[in-house]
Amino acid sequence: MEGLIKLVIFVLLVLTGLIVGTILERRHYRSIKKREVELGHILVFTERMPPHQFAGQPFQLVSGSVVVSGDYFKTAAAGLKKIIGGRLTSYESLLDRGRREAILRMKEQAAQFGAQAIFNVRFETSSLNQKRKNGIICAEMLAYGTALKAPPQAANETGFSANKNLR
């Protein structure tokens, strides 16, 4: 009979994860999209060489990191999908959110510094899984780069908005 109780608990956990997890994910995506619009003036590039006009300008290392974890439903759905392989669609949205959130936090730090661009942006991901082979997935996403303040006379044709949000 304990097999049936385990099944009932499993179904309850899956439903809780599904319902509450979906609500929280939608809320997070709304927040992400809103902040992406707000911080859209800070440009990010993986380019190592800033343009010439940035020479001599103040710069700073900025980073943003976030730890995301899936809910029980994501883990169960991924566990099933792993048997036959393919895209784990339940994890795709989780890691997409984590990446965008990390970029946004980096931009927020750059905005505090007063920068208009972040160059040489790199990403790091590390998983914080417990020893258990089938534990709930948990990952830390880190984005870091060099934030640069644009010179006051930066021409508009290069796309950098000068003098905006200077603190």
Partner 1 sequence: MPRYENPPIPEEINVSKTSAFGEFVKLSIILIVFCVALVVIIFVGMRYLVPHIPFHYEVSLAENWSKKLDGDAPSPSREYLQKLAENLAAHMALPADMPITVHISASSTPNAFATFGGHIIVTQGLLDLVDSENALAMVLSHEIGHIKHRDPIVAAGSGVAVSIVLAILFGNSDIAAISNTSGLLTQLNFSRAQESAADQEALKALTQYYGHTNGAETFFKKMLETHKDDQAPPEFISTHPNTPERLACIETGSAHDSHAPLTPLPDFVKHPPASSKAPYPTSGRGIRTPLARLRERGGRRG
Which positions lie near partner 1, rule CB under 8 A? 1, 3-4, 6-7, 9-10, 14, 18, 36, 40, 43-45, 51, 72-77, 79-81, 83-84, 87, 89-90, 92-93, 96, 117, 133-134, 155, 157-160
Is 125 within 8 Å of 58 (Cβ atoms)? no
In angstroms, give the least distance from the CB of 3 to partner 1: 5
Minimum distance between the CB of residue 60 and partner 1, rounded to whole angstroms? 19
142, 150 Cβ separation under 8 angstroms? no
Q: Min. distance of Cβ 67 from partner 1 in angstroms?
A: 19
Inter-residue contact 135 to 124 (CB < 8 Å): no
C-beta of 88: minimal distance to partner 1 in Å? 9
**Is the Cβ of residue 80 or residue 128 nearer to partner 1 in the bound state?**
80
b/e 48-67 (16+ beta carbons within 10 angstroms → b): eebeebbeebebbebbbbbe
Q: Please provide residue 151's backbone torsions phi and psi, each rounded to the nearest 5 degrees.
A: -65, 150
